[in-house]
C-alpha cells in the first residue's frame, strides 16, 4: 500500500459555497476511515478533498496517490451533467443516444474481469447497451461504483455508497469491499453507524467545516461516545415533557426569578462576595463568569439555598423572600442544578434510570417509590441521550462524561423554571464537551427554562445567552 496521507492546517474553498477550516488529518496505510457528522457539517467536502476537489486556500495535502476512485452524489451529478452537455454539443441533426453503459464501464477499465463480474452482481447485464443518461439514479450509482472498484484505485472514496441499495446488493457490496481491504485503503462517508463495515479502523467526526474528532474504533469508549454524539445531533427526538403529576406551583410572571440585593458573603473578615445586586428575569438567559475564587459557586448557592448565609442576606427567589419560614425544598423544586461537585456527591449505587427520576425529588439517590409516568419520562430521556440500553446499569460504573449527561437530564426532567449549569464541561474531554454542549443546545431549543450558565472563561459562550455577569476576585 501507499504512503501516509497528510492534511496539515488545510483550508479549502468549494466555489464559495462551503469551506473546510484548519483540517489536521493523517491517514496511514492499512487504515480504513469513516467520516461522519450531521447534515451540512462538511463530511462529503472532506472526502472530496482527497479526490482533489476544491481550492486549497491554505495548508498542504501530501501523500495523495494518483489513482483515487471517488463515488459520491456530487461526482454522480457531475457525470450526468457532462453526459447531458455532450447531447447539447452534438451535431444538430443527429439525435445522440448518449454514451452507452458498457462504454462508461469498460473504456479505460483497469480490471475488465472484475467489472464483468460486478455488472453481473449488480444486475446491470441487461442495461449495458442503454444510454448512461437514461438510467435511474440508483442504476447510475451502481455504474459509478463498478467504475471506481474496477479502476484498481490506490485510494477509494465512497460517499454514502450504501444509500438506496437493496438488502442483497448491499450485502454483496459489503462483502466485496471486505475482500479488497488488504490492497485498497478506503474512506467512506456514512450517516448511519449501523452501516459501518467491520473492517473500518477509524472514524472522523466533522462539525461546521472542521474535523473535530478522530476515533480509533478499537477504543470502545470513545467509539460509543461518538455514536452517542451523532445520535444526539441527529435524532428527531426532542426534550421529553414534564410530568403533569409533578406540576410546580405557578410563578407570578411579573416577578423576577431571582433578586439579590446587596448580597454579601464573608468568613470572619474575609469578604468573598461584596454587595452584589443581581436580578434574573424569567426567560432571560445569563452567563456568569469569573476566575477561581471569585465567588461564583457562593453566589449560586445563595440562589439554591445551599449557602447558610442566604439567611442573612436580602434574597428573593421564586416568590419567596428568604428566611420567612420557607423550606429549601420549596426553593429547590424550581431549580435544576448540575455541577462537578454534584457529580462527586452523587456516589450512590443506583441505576441510571433512578438517577434521572431522582430529579423529580431533588434528592441524591431515590428514597421514594417512583410512579409509572416518571419511569416513562426517564426512559424517554435515556432514548434521547442514546443510552436506552443502559437504563439499569449502575450510575457509578458509567464514564465521567455519561454521568454528566445523566445529571443534566436529571436537572431538566421536571422542566425547572431555572436551570443552573455550573461549569458543565469541567473535567470533560473534547468528545464529552461536545456531547454536553449538544444536549444543552437541545434543551435551549425545546423548553421554557431560563438558563444560567456558569464558567471560567468569559470567551466560552453559548448561543442564545445574551446577559452576562462577570465576577472579579476580591
Which residues form the interface with another protein (CB under 8 A)?
Answer: 267-268, 305-306, 308-312, 325-330, 345, 347-350, 354, 358, 361-367, 396
In the complex, minimum distance from the CB of residue 328 to another protein, in angstroms, rounded to a whole number:
4
Considering beta carbons, is residue 144 or 315 the nearer one to another protein?
315
Total Cβ atoms within 10 A of residue 462: 16
Considering beta carbons, is residue 132 or 361 the nearer one to another protein?
361
188 strand-pairing partners: 34, 158
Answer for the pair 425, 436: CB distance below 8 angstroms, yes or no. Answer: yes
Considering beta carbons, is residue 239 or 420 the nearer one to another protein?
420
What are the E-state strand segments in 176-297?
186-189, 202-207, 210-216, 258-267, 270-280, 286-289
Nearest-angstrom CA–CA distance, 78 and 45: 15
In the complex, minimum distance from the CB of residue 332 to another protein, in angstroms, rounded to a whole number:
9
Considering beta carbons, is residue 103 or 326 the nearer one to another protein?
326
Cβ partners under 8 Å of residue 314, min gap 6: 260, 261, 262, 263, 321
In the complex, minimum distance from the CB of residue 299 to another protein, in angstroms, rounded to a whole number:
15
Sheet order of strands, 467-470 included: 335-339, 418-422, 450-455, 286-289, 467-470
- Residue 294 CA to its chain's centroid (Å): 33
In the complex, minimum distance from the CB of residue 333 to another protein, in angstroms, rounded to a whole number:
11
Considering beta carbons, is residue 273 or 440 the nearer one to another protein?
273
In the complex, minimum distance from the CB of residue 330 to another protein, in angstroms, rounded to a whole number:
8
Q: Residue written as cell 431515590? A: 366
Considering beta carbons, is residue 253 or 268 the nearer one to another protein?
268
Nearest-angstrom CA–CA distance, 89 and 72: 26
In the complex, minimum distance from the CB of residue 15 to another protein, in angstroms, rounded to a whole number:
58
The C-alpha cell that represents 132 in the structure block: 448512461
> 3-class DSSP state for residue 228?
helix
Considering beta carbons, is residue 247 or 347 the nearer one to another protein?
347
In the complex, minimum distance from the CB of residue 369 to another protein, in angstroms, rounded to a whole number:
9
In the complex, minimum distance from the CB of residue 277 to another protein, in angstroms, rounded to a whole number:
20
Considering beta carbons, is residue 179 or 474 the nearer one to another protein?
474
Nearest-angstrom CA–CA distance, 357 and 218: 34
The C-alpha cell that represents 423 in the structure block: 461549569
Amino acid at each position: 500500500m501507499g504512503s501516509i496521507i497528510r492534511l496539515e492546517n488545510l483550508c479549502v474553498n468549494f466555489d464559495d459555497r462551503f469551506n473546510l477550516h484548519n483540517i489536521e488529518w493523517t491517514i496511514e496505510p492499512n487504515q480504513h476511515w469513516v467520516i461522519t457528522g450531521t447534515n451540512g457539517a462538511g463530511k462529503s467536502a472532506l472526502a472530496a478533498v482527497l479526490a482533489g476537489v476544491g481550492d486549497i486556500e491554505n495548508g498542504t495535502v501530501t501523500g495523495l496517490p494518483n489513482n483515487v476512485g471517488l463515488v459520491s452524489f456530487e461526482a454522480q451529478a457531475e457525470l450526468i451533467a457532462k453526459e447531458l452537455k455532450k447531447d447539447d454539443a452534438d451535431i444538430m441533426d443527429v439525435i445522440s443516444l448518449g454514451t452507452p453503459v458498457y462504454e462508461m464501464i469498460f473504456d479505460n477499465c483497469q480490471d475488465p474481469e472484475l467489472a464483468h463480474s460486478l455488472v453481473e452482481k449488480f444486475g446491470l447485464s441487461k442495461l449495458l447497451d442503454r444510454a448512461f443518461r437514461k438510467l435511474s439514479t440508483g442504476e447510475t450509482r451502481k455504474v459509478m461504483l463498478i467504475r471506481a472498484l474496477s479502476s484498481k484505485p490506490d485510494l477509494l472514496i465512497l460517499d454514502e455508497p450504501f444509500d438506496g441499495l437493496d438488502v442483497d446488493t448491499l450485502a454483496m457490496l459489503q462483502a466485496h469491499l471486505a475482500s479488497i481491504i488488504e490492497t485498497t485503503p478506503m474512506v467512506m462517508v456514512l450517516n448511519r453507524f449501523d452501516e459501518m463495515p467491520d473492517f473500518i479502523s477509524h472514524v472522523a467526526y466533522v462539525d461546521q467545516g472542521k474535523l473535530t474528532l478522530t476515533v480509533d474504533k478499537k477504543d470502545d469508549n470513545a467509539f460509543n461516545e461518538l455514536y452517542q454524539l451523532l445520535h444526539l445531533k441527529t435524532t428527531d427526538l426532542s426534550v421529553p415533557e414534564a410530568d403533569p403529576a409533578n406540576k410546580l406551583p405557578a410563578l407570578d410572571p411579573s416577578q423576577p426569578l431571582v433578586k439579590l440585593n446587596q448580597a454579601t458573603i464573608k468568613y470572619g473578615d474575609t469578604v468573598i462576595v461584596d454587595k452584589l445586586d443581581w436580578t434574573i428575569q424569567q426567560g432571560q438567559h445569563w452567563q456568569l463568569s469569573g476566575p477561581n475564587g471569585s465567588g461564583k459557586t457562593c453566589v449560586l448557592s445563595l440562589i439554591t439555598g445551599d449557602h447558610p448565609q442566604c439567611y442573612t442576606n436580602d434574597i428573593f427567589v421564586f416568590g419567596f423572600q428568604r428566611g420567612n419560614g420557607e423550606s429549601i425544598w420549596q426553593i429547590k423544586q424550581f431549580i435544576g442544578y448540575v455541577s462537578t461537585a454534584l457529580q462527586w456527591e452523587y456516589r450512590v449505587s443506583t441505576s441510571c434510570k433512578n438517577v434521572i427520576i431522582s430529579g423529580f425529588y431533588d434528592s441524591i439517590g431515590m428514597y421514594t417509590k417512583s410512579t409509572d409516568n416518571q419511569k416513562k419520562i426517564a426512559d424517554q430521556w435515556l432514548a434521547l441521550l442514546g443510552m436506552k440500553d443502559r437504563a439499569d446499569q449502575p450510575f457509578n460504573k458509567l464514564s465521567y462524561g455519561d454521568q454528566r449527561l445523566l445529571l443534566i437530564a436529571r436537572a431538566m426532567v421536571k422542566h425547572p423554571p431555572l436551570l443552573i449549569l455550573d461549569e458543565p464541561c469541567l473535567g470533560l474531554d473534547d468528545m464529552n464537551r461536545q456531547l454536553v454542549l449538544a444536549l444543552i443546545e437541545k434543551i435551549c431549543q425545546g423548553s421554557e427554562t431560563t438558563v444560567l450558565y456558569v464558567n471560567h472563561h468569559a470567551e466560552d459562550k453559548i448561543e442564545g445567552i445574551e446577559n452576562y455577569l462577570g465576577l472579579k476576585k476580591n
